[in-house]
Structure 1
Amino acid sequence: MFMELSGQQGVLSLLLWYLSFSTADLTWPCPQMCVCRQDTLEINCSSKHLTSVPEGLPGNAKQLDLSGNRLKTLSRRQFYGLSKLEELDLGDNIISMIEVEAFQGLKNLRFLRLKRNRLKILPVGVFSGLPNLRSLDVSENEILVFLDYTFQEMGNLMEMNAGENDLVFISHRAFFGLRSLQELNVDRSNLSSIPTEALSQLQNLAKLRLRRLTINVLPNNAFRHLHQLRTLQILQWPSLDTLNSNSLIGLNLSTLVISSCNLSSVPYASLRHLVYLRYLDLSYNPIRSIQGNSLEELLRLQEFHLAGGNLLSIEPGAFKGLVYFRLLNVSSNRLTTLEESAFHSVGNLQTLRLDRNPLTCDCRLLWVVRRRLRLNFDGRQPACSGPALARRREFREFLEVELPAVFACRQARILNRQPQDIKTEEGANVRFECRADGHPAPSVTWLTPEQTPLSSTGRLRVLVNGSLEVRYAQAQDTGSYLCVAANAAGNDSISAHLLVHSVPRNYTTPSFFDEGWFETSLPPFSNSSGRVPRPYPFDAKTLIIATTMGFLSFLSSVAICFVFMFFWSQSKGQIKHTATIDFVPRTSMGGGGDGADGGRFTMKLI
């Protein structure tokens, strides 16, 4: 009896197992050549050489992978029965056409991937029926244009990748309806300008990436109305060399990357509005200098990256006022030093990247090497390129006792200290010498009697060798000039005195010299040997330009008159080319008699 009951239970168990298997098989049919997982509701038909969407897909599937096949066309309502589908991958096919409403019925779809196909255009309505789509990838296709209202029914879309296409135009209302879009990538296209009007439809956009475009100027108001934008990435624009002063106006960015472009200087005017900026990356641009006192309006800046450029100097006060500044990355540049005075407070600095720079290890870098145990070099230690006893040594290799001898400077010293007192007359050229020595090489500055620094241009100018040149000296140039030689170890100065005698004038006559027009002042009854040249208001270049413009104006007036006469003559109809004129000849006495014979002659108009 017991054995009979056990046998019956075994048969019943076997029958129940068979029925459950059959039911599962019926409720979860797997198309041929596909791999199905009922536990995760996944269908994988990837790389099966399919030329069409397989039939018999289970309606409760959540993931469908059709990538890597030979699909060419998606028909209307192609996936209509898959109302539970959440992810659909159609990447790496040869799809060239998608009919309108092809995705109709996929009301729960969250992710749609159409990457690496052959789409040239997205018809309006092709994405209808996708109210809950969150992510769309149409990158690496051949799309030429985004038409108005292409994405209007995708109100919940949050991320779209449209990069690596052949886009030449984005219509003004192409992004209409994308009220939830937060991230947009537009990489490598043929756009000739920023699609400002189209982007202005994206009121909630938080991250925008524009990579590998061929635009050379970022115009004013390029990203207007993007008040929620927090991250802007402009990458690999080899021709971008100019940012207009108001190109980033209206943005509240926290992260800005303008990398691998052609900027020759830090765009200070464009950055000054970005008071919420925390992360700034200008790497791989041919920028040569970071100026002093020019970034202080970026009050919240924490990180500054300028790696892989042509950076030669970071001026004192470069990061002045940046109380939250934590990280500086200037690796792979041409810097020889970095002075402590560049920072608001080196105590706040946490990470410093100075590696792969030709650093001269002297007193200017002593502050860095003394903090070598506290500073984070991100695993890349700076190394010395000079002097000889420190060459190729990393900062961590130096002992504290040898720092004063290695990281040393020699105070600036003016070599020629002989008094320089020059007396001359107006119109003469004067030069004062100022040669200095020291380590590092000192900078030479000349100050006027009013203590104003002189530049390398103008009538009073500082030459490359440190000398001061006064051209065509005037009486008002009289005074004491101060030469100051300075370096990190200290400074030295010396005065030079100039006295210019004015020449009495009675009348002036213009003369022309090699450098242009000058005014020559002659005292009474003097000959030409007493002339003192003075600048004349007009030089030769100005006269030539004025003469040329006057001649062109004359020719233009004559041409206009001839054209007017031609059209006027045409409007008069038929013109006679001959005319007969009657006349009465005058007598030899000067009067006309009654019996005098009349005359006539014929005149031909040429």
Structure 2
Amino acid sequence: MLATERVLLLLISLLSFLFHCEHSLAFSLKDCTILYSENSKNISVTCAKRHLTAIPDDIPGNAVSLNLSLNGISNISRVDLRGLSKLEALYVKNNWILQIDDGTFADVVELKVLDLGENLLTALTKNMFQGLSKLETLSLDNNIISFISPVVFQPWSSYVYEIHTIKEHMLQSCSNLIELNLSFNNIKSMADNALPSMTQLRSLILQNNELSELPVAVQGLTTLEVYDLSSNDISELYCPYFWNLTSLTILDLSHNQISYIFDYKLQTLYLSSLQYLYIDLDECDSVDEGGFEGLDNLQILYLSEQRDRPFSNLQRLKKLHIKVHRGYYDISKDVLSGLTSLEYLITEAYFMGSLYPDTFKYTPQLKHLRISYSKLSVLTSDVFLPIPNLITLDLSNNKLRSLDFLAEAKLSALRWLNVSDNELFVISETVIQSLPGLTYLDLSANLLTCECSNYGLIQWIQGSKQTQVANAHQYTCAFPVSQRGKKFLDFGFDSYRIDAALLCFLFSSSLVVLTLLASFIYHFLRSHLTYAYYLFLAFLYDNKRRKKGIPHSYDAFVSYNVHDEAWVCGELLPELEGQQGWKLCLHHRDFEPGKPIVENITEAIYSSRKTICVISPNYLQSEWCSKEIQMARYGYQLFVLTCNDIDVLIMVFLEDIPANQLSPYYQIRSLVKRSSYLSWPQAGQHTGVFWQKIQQALEREENPAEHT
């Protein structure tokens, strides 16, 4: 009984430990994506549009933002958000949420933004928002709420003001106002004296209205720092409307219909303190070169439809966003000239088709680059060499078919890479290895092939502890056709893998076969290989002599054993050299000292017209004599083939050797059978005939026909 209790306590402790453990950071989440952030401590996770029916259980515990919008989640329980103690923003908009349990948000004590809009909530219960003491924004729009507890909002207060019209004296009493937000109304005009007393106004937000011209009332607001006129109907810019706005640092004119700028030069706005400018030029010709003169402090610039080179005076600009909505035109290679401090460059449909190798030589400080919707199909590494400090690179929505250019681009600092919506087939391991600092990679919507060429990529995605591959579990195979539509990471490469045991078996078997074959060749074919070697050597040597036209140095080379040297020096040499005048080559006299013996033998034989072999039992047993006669024999056969049957071999037997004793010596025996030879014992006392026949053999050009 006691042992059972201990086991139960141990299991309860283990379960408690696992229950309270924080979620670890998974680099490739199954249903969600960790958004890139330069601050690795502030992790933002998006699970939007993933067809989820419940909140995933692998959300990292240190996430500060979680987006679950546009799914099919119907219920949120307290367990779903357990462990997310650092969460500051939660977006669950546009789901099917019918119920949120009391105490669901008890663990997310740092939550500041909660969006529950566009769901099916019918009641806000008393403790639904318990624990959200730091909440700043709560959205419950587009639900079907029929019951609200009287105390559900007790911890907070919420005030909403809506202004639809602005009259001349409407804001007269607001002289101390610092910030004025009139956005999302239907304001079409503003009285010229609507803001006369606002001498401390710093921020004026007029976005999403129906203004057709710049309000004159803004003139003279020397304290104004932020001026937002985005999403209106403004079509013209005149410099008087910005007079005396000497403190203005942020001007937003985006999403208007500007068709005319006075003199096409923004310097006429007299905004020397301006640091942030957002402007669309969809209906206007682009700003001329030097058009931004006078805006020396500009740091962030958002443009559209800009094709000229107006940036030469913006040395302090750090962020440039250019978006093109119409047409196709060439961009000059020095379009970025003057932007020496630029760190962020975001372009859409701007660098169409290709990039000049020197495009970024003017922006050495560039750290963040986006080139999307530009129909890029080919890039070279030279484009990126001037910007080695690049941290993020977005090449999405192009037509790239290869990332091989990254292998030589030297982007060792790159941490974030987005190449989604291209036409990539294969990602080589060389490209991956060339990006050692990569922490985020998006390959979505490409034409990945499920073949051996991508095996390294799949292994890397599944095993990487550094790089998050966004939505990797959703990638599908495009090729081959038999695999199309299947999950990329689920593709099995078993049929392509080489079994280690089979490889070892093949290697060892091949080694054994090679060893046996070598032994067999050595034992049975050694003489044939030697024969082939010397024949080839003879061919090379003789061919070289013939090409050079070198004459023979000797009349005959004498091949003999050292034991027969007395006969050679006492009988042969005096007769042939002394009496008949032939020039002989003797190894003990004419071989070159220090040269390999085989080379000396070869040179002696092929430098002589004939070869005299002095054969005796000692000769037959000598290895070097055997080599000499083989060389002579191969020379003989070579001459037979090339020189009209010229006989170059003269055999002299010092002793009578029976045929049966010649059997082990195949080379000699075959020569004796085919060619004539001289016998010293048969000469007896009549040696004159013997020497006369040698002389005839040395003189005549055809083979002896008879055997003596």
Instruction: Compute the TM-score of the two structures, normalised by the length of structure 1.
Output: 0.50
Relative to its length, the structure with more helix (as a share) is 2
Relative to its length, the structure with more strand (as a share) is 1
Q: Per chain length, whose mean CA-contact separation is higher, i.e. which structure has more relative contact order (CA < 8 Å, sep 6+)?
A: 2
Instruction: Compute the TM-score of the two structures, normalised by the length of structure 2.
Output: 0.43
Which of structures 1 and 2 has the bigger CA Rg? 2
